[in-house]
Copies of this chain bind each other. A is one copy, B any other.
Amino acid sequence: MIQMAGIHSSALIGSNVTLGSNVSVGAGSIIHDNAEIGDNTIIGANVILGEPLAAYYSSPSQYVNPQLKIGPSAVIRSGSVIYAGCEIGENFATGHGAVIRERTMIGHNTRIGTHSDIQGECIIGSYVRIHSNVITSQHVRIHDFVWILPHCVLADCPHPPSEELFPATIEAYAVIAANSVILPGVTVGAESLVGASSVVSRDVVPGAVVVGHPAKQVAWAADLKSRVTGEPMYPWRGHFLRGMPWEAKGFAAWSKERHVE
């Protein structure tokens, strides 16, 4: 069997790197200076952690790599690149070839899909699901429990190229379906649903369903029914459990306990 546990002999580990207990680092992977990786993290092959920032290229000899922190129990799949200066919570996962640029902050139990490109200084919450090949501008704010499906773009520049940038905000429990573009400065409201291939040019009110180019409200999420059972499909936390903190007991019971605590 190919060695997957422990530090592969072909991996390269920089200075001042702290690896927790039971961390594995795959063949050909590189961990640059000043990274701190939590216990039980599994790093695949050809991963780069703590990738140096652009400042490195202009003066390599004076450059100090910012700290990268990744919490315990992450799975970083092959070919992913996470820049220095990021701070990521526990139970993180990436697909293959995901790129996360510098100083992005990510909560816990979040997943960034294959070939996605998070352009840096973003703030991403917990239990967020970013699917394959999603591209965000810098400084985007994505709240907890957001789903962004494949091929979406979160843009920040209304008149490119310019230095006037307005990153998007995606509020909790919102869902953005495949191939949609969120235009600069837009807030996608909590528990809303953006249909596939939409172009969202104005704020989406909480709980709305918007579709089209430009996207317009066509329904409320609460009115959407299952094709199978006829039951309401939103709020999705009522029926979707897999990987969520309420997986064992359902949202209602989980939520009630949290408020008691």
Residues of A within 8 A of B (CB): 1-5, 10, 12-15, 27-28, 30-33, 42, 45-46, 48, 51-52, 56-57, 60, 75, 78-79, 81, 95-97, 99, 114-115, 117, 119, 129, 132-133, 135, 147, 149-151, 153, 155, 158-164, 166, 175, 177-179, 181, 183, 196-197, 199, 212-213, 224, 226-228, 233-234, 236, 239-240, 242
Contacts and interface: CB of A to CB of B under 8 A. Distances in A.
A177 B160 contact: yes
Contact of A78 (B51, B177, B199, B242): B51
A151 B135 contact: yes
A17 to B, nearest CB: 10
A212 B132 CA distance: 24
Contacts of A97: 79, 96-97, 99, 115
B196 A162 contact: no
- The 3 lowest CB-CB distance pairs between A and B, nearest first, are A159-B233, A135-B150, A153-B178
A155 B149 contact: yes
A215 to B, nearest CB: 10
Nearest to A241: B163
A233 B28 contact: no
B240 A162 contact: yes
Contact of A117 (B15, B117, B133): B133
Contacts of A115: 97, 99, 115, 117, 133
